[in-house]
Structure 1
Amino acid sequence: MTRESHVEEKHPRAESIKLREKMTRGVEKNVTALAGLLAHGRGEAFDYILGEETTAPGMRAITAAAATLLLADHAVLSVNGNVAALCPEEFVELSNISGAKLEVNIFHRLPGREEAIEKVLREAGAEEVLGVGEDASARIDEIYSDRRRVDPEGIFKADVVFVPLEDGDRTEGLMRMGKKVITVDLNPMSRTAQYATVTIVDNVVRAMPLLISEVERLRGEDVEELR
């Protein structure tokens, strides 16, 4: 067992149990909403179908996502509670190597949640976190939930938005605004997966390190090659 987990490394479901424990700790820290636990469980079921590994189509989508981020004029990585609980370090690293900004955007805006997510990101090394509190002063009328509140310097003016583990209505709203949307979703039949510009059907904890590697690999390529 590790200090962060109650599961033995030899347990056949050790990795998935560790992720569940991260999610549970996220709820305890006011980072993850209770509804996020349900969404995680649903995604885990789809991951079983994938064989809990990154597929060849998933890898091609990761390459396309990396190129899309590098071609963007103003890319933003949208962070919700599940992402903050599962892989904050990877999001900060992707922000650093791609130049994309980090913005907190959540469905359940319970007291203190945005600040709790910001704290997790800053502890992971983020120097700038958009969309917290009064900074989320712009409004996207195409979205019909609290996710409509965004930072005017972030998602509002972004041309590319990375929205993993996302609600379909926001993906549709962002697309209607003419933005390119990249998502990671284990359910290929979800509205998010169906409507996004680039859909990575994979577990976000597997996809993020691969996406970081692809951005690093492609950074030196000519614009025409990336297109």
Structure 2
Amino acid sequence: MKICVLYSGGKDSTYALHWAVFKGFKIVCLITLIPKREDSWMFQYPNVIYTRYQAEAMGFRLLTFETSGEKDKELEDLKKALVQAKNEGAVGIVSGALLSDYQRLNISIIAEEIGLKTYTPLWRKTQEEYMRWLVREGFKFVITSASAYGFPFDLLGKEITTEDVEKIIERARRYGFNPAFEGGEAETFVTYAPLFKTQLKVKGRLRRISEYECRYEITDIH
């Protein structure tokens, strides 16, 4: 079956892509929507412009689309992107939705409208075990933004290790945020995964936005 993958460059969409390949799907393209607003309800904002490097490292075709980032208008932008993917042969879409009903339902509704099947392989996975599995199976990623009370902000910009995952889980239990960040507590950028033919190296700078919000902005990638 030919499918497209909604791809943000983060751990969840990379896992969803990984799942699709190993289930035997043929990847027509990756789709990245680049929001004009930082507070997009549907799409990741930090460092999403660099998904082209990830697509190149994996050998997949990437389609990028700008989106307003406004709550309802961005759904129309998503629909246009999926229509193009369908026109190019995709009969389904895979996404990395983990816990957000808003994202999953909107993707499903739009896909049904235009006749695409939907697959959400991460849906309702056990959050803590999922994070452990990612690192154990060779997914390398950096945290590019965080906005949660109690979050270990010293991990931003650092390649996450097994010890870091345990630190995140411990803090999540103590302060009540989601350990896999599905509530928007943090965003990630994958630098290597089993499908990558080469590893990405990133450099960047930390920017403190407020007492409980920090961002790692990538300034160099190769």
Q: TM-score range by the shorter chain?
A: 0.3 to 0.5
Structure with the higher strand share, 1 or 2: 2
Quick check: which one's helix share is greater? Answer: 1
TM-score (norm 1): 0.36
With structure 2 as the length reference, what TM-score do the two structures score?
0.37
